[in-house]
Chain A
Amino acid sequence: MASPFDLPQQITTQAGTAADTFPQLLCRHAQERAERPAMREKDLGIWQTWNWRQVADEVRAMACGLNVRGVSRGDRVAIIGDNRPRLYWAMLAAQSIGALPVPLYQDAVADEMVFSLRDAGISVAVVEDQEQVDKLLEIREQLPALHTIVYDDTRGLRHYDATGLLSMDALLGEGRVFHEQHPAFFQLSVEAGQGHDLAIMLYTSGTTGQPKGVVHTFDSMIHTARAAAAMEGLTDREEVLAYLPMAWVGDNLFSFSQSMVCGFCVSCPESSTTVMTDMREIGPTYYFAPPRVFENLLTQVTIRMEDAGRIKRALFRYFMAHARKVGVRIVDKEPVGFWDRLGYRLGDWLVYGPVKNVLGFSRIRLAYTAGEAIGPELFAFYRALNINIKQLYGSTEAYVMVCVQPNGEVRADTVGKPAPGVEVRIDDKGEVLFRGPGVFHSYWQRADATAETRNAEGWVHTGDAGFIDDAGHLRIIDRAKDVGRLTDGTLFAPKYPENKLKFFPFIKEVVAFGDGREHAAAFINIDIEAVGNWAERRGLAYSGYTDLAAQDAVYELVRDCVEQVNESLSADSRLSGSQISRFLVLHKELDADDGELTRTRKVRRRFIAERYAPLVDALYSDASRGVIETEVRFEDGRSGRLSADLKIETARTYPRAA
């Protein structure tokens, strides 16, 4: 065991470390911090730990086993499953013998997997369990290259006799035998690895067209991971919980590359449903979550506080209000009065500390959020609790890091300054471009797409529209293709007012229109839970969603939200034109089953504009009502027609601030 007096080791970016690939880094950790924990997994209710030496042993056996099974340099190995230690090691094992690991989304159905598996020409798949094996066997006929499937969890697979199917234990056994016979093989093959070798392929989600395999080299990954670690001062004592999909670039950076670069321990949750409990037990110091997760956590705290006793509730309210007032300023080390400071101390002892403990945030030093806009209220809540939550902006093509907020410059409405070594610029159409050391190598077998996305000077198109504000921070306003102009030529970015509106708890979804029109207008979906609750408290009777959505009081509520948003938009010279002047509240919830949302709950703008064309026309006429008939699909698969006569209201807009 390492002595508790050991100082954490700061990782520097300087050269001379002589480790250009992850397997080489692994070998170094196995010598330098052999007994330090490298990976944990909760199994049968108990946290199991592997130190770096043990991990290196397992990876060696796995690499030798893959070699026995015919994997050679340049082959592609698919990795499919939840976050499991052996799947992370399989990435290292594949890299050790020069193969390219390709993690895929574990919740994709078999048919969705076919494309990626064929495109990558996968020959060996390392999967978690029976579920994944069944999927692969189902589509095996379409995958001529796939000759071996290795599974980790043996449950339910005992009687399977498909050719080329074997358990991880069997593979490790074969590998160990091979290593005894060829003791130099592993070492030589790790040493043969070079920084410019291909290291990983990550498929983009494919919201537009077929998914593309983004290939990164060791150089781009290690450089990015090191630079980010140096900027944030990460050490080998960090604790990280790996709970986001392995196929996602974020997990790859935070739970794999940075752990390999810094030598910190990564913990795998017991199951996807126990993440909350596991968080509390592990107490991560470094954490990443999309805004949705932070929002769910806050909701849970709020609900539990509603059920608490009166004294606790009063304490919670009082001190949370105090934290909102001074917390952020204290965290940012701004001058704050003595009594306020004392109050914050007391609150920390009575409320903030216990709340953070319940959330598993007691030891958190750094939390990132990205992916979508985060509500300013939500952001302020965590900041006020002295949790250093920061936004970043990234893409698979950049190996995550494009922009990140520096300490002390954290704001809810920006995504920060360019990450170390990254250059960002805005082209004349308003699209964000970046270049830097983390830029991807290529799209797998898609030279055309690579050239389209990355120009000759190395600038990568993000497809996002944004601008750099006066403080030098990047602000993302929308997808570039969705940004339009009003008839008078002002910029219109639908996502901007939409997001601002969605931060109100009463509003679930918004679709804003305005491109090629005189002014902006919007469809609004109320949140049935929040508005229903609000109606109940005011004694407002309603029979269901449609009835509630059409009530005058609800319209009033929504109009108030819209006008607040308009007022805040007016303060922004560039986006003042996006103020919503007319709106209506839709009679039904936008639904993925009706094709109105994508499966990841993103609004399908064009489809909605077509489907609800009569309502859009009504918004842009003088009419005070609009009639619509649509087809809806019920949950049992039947479909029916739904017609509605909706009120259209006007909201106050504000003149542009000087």
Chain B
Amino acid sequence: MNPNRRIGDVVLEASHISLRFGGVKALTDISLDVREHEVLAIIGPNGAGKSSMLNVINGVYHPQEGEVRYRGQVRQRMSAHLAARQGIARTFQNIALFKGMSVLDNIMTGRQHKLHASLLERALWWGRAEREELRERCRVEEIIDFLEIQHIRKTPVGRLPYGLQKRVELGRALAMEPTLLLLDEPMAGMNVEEKQDMCRFILDVNDEFGTTIVLIEHDMGVVMDISDRVVVLDYGKKIGDGAPDEVKHNPDVIAAYLGTAH
């Protein structure tokens, strides 16, 4: 890992978050903070509340208790739409791409917020529409180059293998030029080589664009390798928070993973 990367101040602070679905307690009194330019991993066994936590950060779920403070401001009624405007992008555990569209077009949808041309202009591909599309295409091409997917630029996403679809999804998230990138199991179902590639891309994104990254991942090897900090959840509670090495030796974490008697 690159020692020169500067980890900055806290950009997002979640305090005392509790989230319930009816009687099910998904998250209980969780506090965590995310610092500028860091790679933060959230780990935990199945059903520990990792995705829920991501959804809270993203504004999809609204916790019953606690508050999320993003760049110093307490969030009121948050929505995914607003989160996107504030520079938060995410990828999903189950790939959520437009299967029939090409890789290029899929990534282009990530630039939607930069397009201002009217419907008529777009239909005629005239004036602003043309200028904007050329401009945004340049940006998209940079992302395609960055992720090394030139060879599938015009391939419909549905025809791609899983690992590449994941990469395209990362590309679409990057197209939003996020400052905070949320990755929900970016390496699930990948083989070793695909995982290595993905790790490299995540670190490169972090390094090249200074993007802060919060990721959920099951593969412990990956987590320990690429994260600056690891937060461990179990049954909706936070049981560990610290550098990878600290967390690895935390007795509660070991118990949660190895299933020692509670």
Residues of chain A having any CB pair with chain B under 8 Å = 43-46, 155-156, 158-159, 270-271, 273-274, 277
Contact = CB atoms under 8 A, between A and B. Distances in A.
B258 interface: no
Contacts of A158: 207-208
Contacts of A273: 150-151
Contact of A156 (B144, B151, B207): B207
B25 to A, nearest CB: 41
Contacts of A274: 150-151
Nearest to A159: B4
B2 A44 contact: no
B204 A271 contact: no
Interface of B: 2, 4-5, 137-138, 141-142, 144-146, 148, 150-151, 153, 204, 207-208
6 contacts: A44-B145, A45-B150, A46-B141, A156-B207, A159-B2, A271-B151
Contacts of B207: 156, 158-159
Contacts of A277: 151
A271 B148 contact: yes
Contacts of B148: 271
Given A155-B204, A156-B208, A44 B138 contact: yes
Given A44-B138, A45-B141, A159-B4, A270 B150 contact: yes
Contacts of A270: 150-151
Contacts of B2: 159
Nearest to A153: B145
A296 B204 CA distance: 34
A43 B150 CA distance: 10
Given A155-B204, A155-B208, A156-B204, A44 B151 contact: no
Nearest to B3: A159
Contact of A45 (B4, B153, B204, B208): B153
A44 B141 contact: yes
B151 A159 contact: no
Contacts of B4: 159
Nearest to B207: A156
A271 B150 contact: yes
Contacts of B153: 45
Nearest to A45: B141
Contacts of A45: 137, 141, 144, 150, 153
Nearest to B140: A45
- List of 10 A-B pairs having minimum Cβ-Cβ separation, nearest first: A273-B151, A44-B141, A159-B4, A45-B141, A274-B151, A270-B150, A274-B150, A271-B150, A159-B2, A44-B145
B66 to A, nearest CB: 37
Contacts of A271: 148, 150-151
A159 B144 CA distance: 23
Contacts of B151: 270-271, 273-274, 277
A548 to B, nearest CB: 26
Given A159-B5, A274-B151, 16 more contacts: A44-B138, A44-B141, A44-B142, A45-B141, A155-B146, A155-B208, A156-B207, A156-B208, A158-B208, A159-B2, A159-B4, A159-B207, A271-B150, A271-B151, A274-B150, A277-B151
Contacts of B145: 43-44
A43 B146 CA distance: 12
A274 B152 CA distance: 8
Contacts of A155: 146, 204, 208
Nearest to B144: A45
A45 B134 CA distance: 12
A44 B151 CA distance: 12
